[in-house]
Structure 1
Amino acid sequence: MSRPTGAGLSDEERYDQGMTVRREVLSPEHVDRATANATELSADWQDFITRVAWGDVWSRPALDRRSRSIAVLSSLIAHGHHEELAMHLRAAIRNGLTLDEIREVILQSAIYSGVPAANTAFRIANEVFADEL
């Protein structure tokens, strides 16, 4: 069994690794906005998601970023996390998915997550990619 990417790293190193991946996937502008808007209440949350979600999970080598984006889009559609879906639709393009592939992910989600979930996902995708359609 291979050692996870974040194993043996200090919290600071995991944060730095996570911030690099987070900025590459979500865009520097998005991450700068999120961290600038951190409050006393949410600062620990920003640190946590940077270290754990981005520094540990997104940094693991077994899946490439395209595959991770497909998994994330499917999960967000299934759970109705619309704000996150819009953000990760943009990230999916940065991670190499095409609009045709995103369409197929949403269609596939209709079978397992329901037509209303896919209908909403297509609405959000149309809004996100309005300039490209």
Structure 2
Amino acid sequence: LPAAAVTPAPAAAPPQLAPVAEIAPPAVPQQPQGRPDAYDTGIKVRREVLGDAHVDRILAGTDAFSGDFQELVTRYAWGEVWDRPGLDRRTRSCVTLTALVAGGHLEDLAFHTRAALRNGLTPDEIKEVLLQAAVYCGIPAANSAFRVAQQVVREETTPQE
């Protein structure tokens, strides 16, 4: 037979596949035996470092939109990282101040300057951290950071009348 006279067989429809699995709701993470919940640890550390007034103000502003983020920050930053044994809180404050200068996060720099004082850094040590940051993060960033930190140090170290 000539090639044009051969009619191809109709293609078979692909078989219908059943779903492999249903998407399950997220599981509630279980803490290993003997290990405290990271949120409980985080809220304790967050309050010790930043102070009750600051934490209360932040949490009071939490709503359905921002609540998951505040829980993430409390669990991860404060309950996991700030609570690790590898660095003391003074050193963590030095690292944090430097990172905030580098990122230009001046609002956070203000409350972390207060935290650094609470963690035992002196105003002179904070000044040294900012001078070091000036070399590696840039003079303009450090200039802005010095203005913020200077105001916080004045507020925190000037005796009330």
Any gaps of 5 or more consecutive residues in structure 1? 1-6
Match of 1:90 among 114, 117, 126: 114
TM-score by length of 1: 0.90
1:58-89 superposed Cα distances (whole Å, 9 cap, x missing partner): 00001000000000000000110010000100
> Within 1, Cα distance between the matches of 2:117 and 2:109?
13
Match of 2:66 in 1: 42
Match of 2:11 in 1: none
Match of 1:25 in 2: 49
Q: Percent of aligned pairs with the same residue? A: 54
- 1:11–1:51 Cα contact (<8 Å) kept: no
> Within 2, Cα distance between the matches of 1:73 and 1:9?
35
* Letter in structure 2 aligned against 1:73: L
Q: Which runs of 4+ in 1 moved over 3 A?
A: 7-12
TM-score by length of 2: 0.74
Match of 1:53 in 2: 77
Match of 1:99 among 111, 123, 129: 123
1:17-40 superposed Cα distances (whole Å, 9 cap, x missing partner): 000000000001100111111011
- Verify: 1:65 aligned to 2:89, yes or no: yes
Bigger Rg, which one:
2
> Within 2, Cα distance between the matches of 1:125 and 1:119?
10
> Within 2, Cα distance between the matches of 1:93 and 1:130?
12
- From the superposition, tell whether residues 53 and 128 of structure 1 become closer, same or farther in structure 2 (CA, over 3 Å): same
- From the superposition, tell whether residues 72 and 108 of structure 1 become closer, same or farther in structure 2 (CA, over 3 Å): same
Any gaps of 5 or more consecutive residues in structure 2? 1-30
> Within 2, Cα distance between the matches of 1:10 and 1:82?
39
* Letter in structure 2 aligned against 1:60: R
Deviation at 1:129, TM superposition (A): 1.9
* Letter in structure 1 aligned against 2:63: T
- From the superposition, tell whether residues 34 and 126 of structure 1 become closer, same or farther in structure 2 (CA, over 3 Å): same
- From the superposition, tell whether residues 13 and 124 of structure 1 become closer, same or farther in structure 2 (CA, over 3 Å): same
> Within 1, Cα distance between the matches of 2:106 and 2:33?
33
Tell me, what secondary structure is at the counterpart of 1:130?
helix
